[in-house]
Amino acid sequence: MEKYNSFINSSLGVLSTPKELLIRLNSEMNRSIDFFSNSSDKILVKDLKPILGLNPGAHYGSAKRWNSKNFAMVALELSSKFDILIFGGANELAITKEIELNLISNGVTNYCNLGGKTSVGELIGHISKLSLLITGDSGPMHIAASFHVPTVSIFGPTSDKETSQWMNKKSSIVKKNLDCQPCMKRTCPLIHHNCMKLIEPEDVLIAVKSL
């Protein structure tokens, strides 16, 4: 935001300042409702609990992805307080399915796996209704910022000083501050992937409580 704004100012000789992100909801985005049944595509309005969104994927590369089992462990801890939506693109079905299977094996039923089932517009609609989002450094993270959704963002190889949420006061960043961070690589050049592996579910839960 700051770089683009500076480019505009220098190019046009103006003194504008970047404002908050803004997405105007349209009919496609408003089509999404409070909750969906996880057993089929049948719509089930629960309207009992606030909604937690999990966004485990990241198109940039595997280095930005936190372990799906860790996402599931966090979801298990929060499932008594939140209904859960799992987000993911068509190429992230394996990740979202792993989280779903972990929830099933632990008896959690108040979730819906939306991996590969939403358009971008529908995804925006769902995110706009969240009470909390837990995500990696990703596009959905920035969508959540535009709606001021309380968000815990997990950062590994990328720089939170450059690509964290813009103007969301309800934002918390979880990272380890290793010497090798940020490497800005799609896969870990040191193989160990410690920037993500060393982040524990408890670290994320502490960040949730801070919000």
Structure tokens belonging to residue 142: 């920035």
Q: What mean pLDDT do residues 26-31 have?
A: 78
Range of lowest pLDDT (31-35, 48-52, 109-113, 194-198):
31-35
**C-alpha to C-alpha distance for 43 and 166, rounded to whole angstroms:** 33
**pLDDT value at residue 32:** 57
3-state secondary structure the chain: CHHHHHHHHHHHCCCCCCCCCCCCCCHHHHCCCCCECCCCCCECCCCCCCEEEEECCCCCCHHHCCCHHHHHHHHHHHCCCCEEEECCCHHHHHHHHHHHHHHHHCCCCCEEECCCCCCHHHHHHHHHCCCEEEEECCHHHHHHHHCCCCEEEECCCCCHHHHCCCCCCCEEEECCCCCCCCCCCCCCCCCCCHHHHCCCHHHHHHHHHHC
Q: What mean pLDDT do residues 122-150 have?
A: 96
Res. 11: pLDDT tops 70: yes
Res. 57: pLDDT tops 90: no
Using alpha carbons only, how large is the chain's radius of gyration in Å? 18
More confident residue, 28 or 162: 162
Q: Highest mean pLDDT range out of 30-34, 39-43, 187-191? A: 187-191
Tell me what the pLDDT averaged over the chain comes to: 90
Fold of 49-210: Rossmann fold (3.40.50)
Res. 19: pLDDT tops 60: yes
- The 10 Å CB-count burial string (b at 16+, else e) for 128-139 is bbbebbbbbbbb
Structure tokens belonging to residue 48: 């009992």
The letter for the amino acid at 141 is M
**pLDDT value at residue 64:** 84
CB 126 within 8 A of CB 87: yes
Model confidence at 41, in pLDDT bands (50, 70, 90)?
A: very low
Res. 38: pLDDT tops 80: no
Contacts of 5 (CB under 8 A, 6+ apart): 16, 17, 18
**C-alpha to C-alpha distance for 66 and 13, rounded to whole angstroms:** 43
pTM of the model: 0.90
